[in-house]
Structure 1
């Protein structure tokens, strides 16, 4: 089984990584093309394009101008340790053993607006470029058009490498839109996490994101390979609900 997750806006490039080794991203040439496009943007341009504050716009102009190759441990960090959002709180990669890092390297992929697809141990430099950003480029009017079939082809290659026909989608809708479902050589299973609030079960973003990370970690640590095994996920009080699920959407409920 291959799992995909989204990146995070929050980053940490200060704390040393506990990962045992590092690798280079597959699409650095493409990333450099996007950096070149981004380098033509002023802080005011980025503020408008990304709907961010002036301070964040200034920060990201600085990041773009500092981005440089080659990547090494002095100027970059392993992706799974660099991202620090809610999903990654649940994932808690700092708790991984060396063997778990290496298993994740084969069975986990992070979708990215700038890097396309990242393996956990791939080095990355700090950035902010969400997949839904309407950044005009040589490939089209947005990042979905820029990446085209590359992301799907990369996932297909890895599915073949691990001899699997199952993709666990723990990414957000924005990022999973970059995957071409009709050419992906796998069954897609998407878990949904709902919490009890105001007399009904509903998706609460903060909790759902953390739960995606918790499931990702559980899959890695237990080397889960089948849909049937996924149904046993019960971290933080979530329980699989058969009556709310179907073959491709697995619903997990929590009532606190």
Structure 2
């Protein structure tokens, strides 16, 4: 099973790994485009106002541009620890046992505007590039990634649980992937999509799927794993699930 997580705008600083080496990342077929985008970000960082405009940043976020300038020389850390925020707080990697972490490293991957997709243990630097950004002289990231990333994800050869946000799901479709919608149900049984706590619930689900001793290989097994962790997953279609929360 492969669980595809969305990235986060916020990244942990620092790291104790060596500088970025694309050959150490999973899905090496993506390296030519990864290199092209990384070089473009470094070049763009030489023009701070242009970087701020292209990346949708304010003057107070100039440090994000400085991060991009150091892409090839900054220290790295595992992707699962590089990304931060609500989903990753709920995932709570620090709370995993050694055995759970090993399973999570096999099962979790993170979507990325810069790297396409990375495995949990892949060593990456801090950077700033969002899925909706357009770099000067390039097309949209969707137009760049789709023809390259879609064949790679289609060839994974195992059950894919797609927890990506819409922006990152648009970078590459995954035929046959299981998607999850977080919904709330009121006392009358009416449901609506959750927005505010959506990331936290998906982080909890990802943690359950990543650490379970059994290897979920069907939709029914996904539902069972969630139930054992106190979460309710219900089918909305052959490959569509609803994570049902209270009011």
TM category, shorter: 0.7 to 0.9
Q: Secondary structure at the match of 2:160?
A: strand
**Aligned pairs (5 A) from 1:15-26:** 24-25=24-25, 26=28
Deviation at 1:194, TM superposition (A): 1.5
Deviation at 1:180, TM superposition (A): 3.4
Number of matched pairs: 233
| 2:37 counterpart residue number | 34
| 2:126 counterpart residue number | 126
| 1:112 counterpart residue number | 112
**Distance of 1:235 and 1:86 partners within structure 2:** 23
Deviation at 1:106, TM superposition (A): 2.7
Structure 2 unaligned residues grouped into runs of 5+ = 18-22
**Distance of 2:142 and 2:199 partners within structure 1:** 22
Question: Which of 111-120 and 86-95 deviates more?
Answer: 86-95
| 1:246 counterpart residue number | 237
**Distance of 1:60 and 1:224 partners within structure 2:** 38
Change (3 A) 1:127 1:105: same
**Distance of 1:16 and 1:68 partners within structure 2:** 14
| 1:45 counterpart residue number | 50
**Distance of 1:135 and 1:190 partners within structure 2:** 29
**Superposed structure 1 runs of 4+ greater than 4 Å apart:** 14-17, 196-200, 234-238
Say if 2:4 and 2:110, in contact at 8 Å, map to a contact too.
yes
Deviation at 1:47, TM superposition (A): 2.6
**Aligned pairs (5 A) from 1:87-106:** 87-106=87-106
**Which of the residues 187, 205, 210 maps onto 1:215?**
205
**Distance of 1:203 and 1:147 partners within structure 2:** 28
Instruction: Give RMSD over aligned pairs.
Output: 2.7
After superposition, what is the alpha-carbon deviation per residue over 1:197-224, rounded to whole angstroms, capped at 9, x for unaligned?
7985333333111111111111111132
- TM-score after normalising by structure 2: 0.82
**Distance of 1:40 and 1:230 partners within structure 2:** 43
**Aligned pairs (5 A) from 1:166-185:** 166-181=159-174, 184=175
Deviation at 1:113, TM superposition (A): 0.4
| 2:177 counterpart residue number | 188
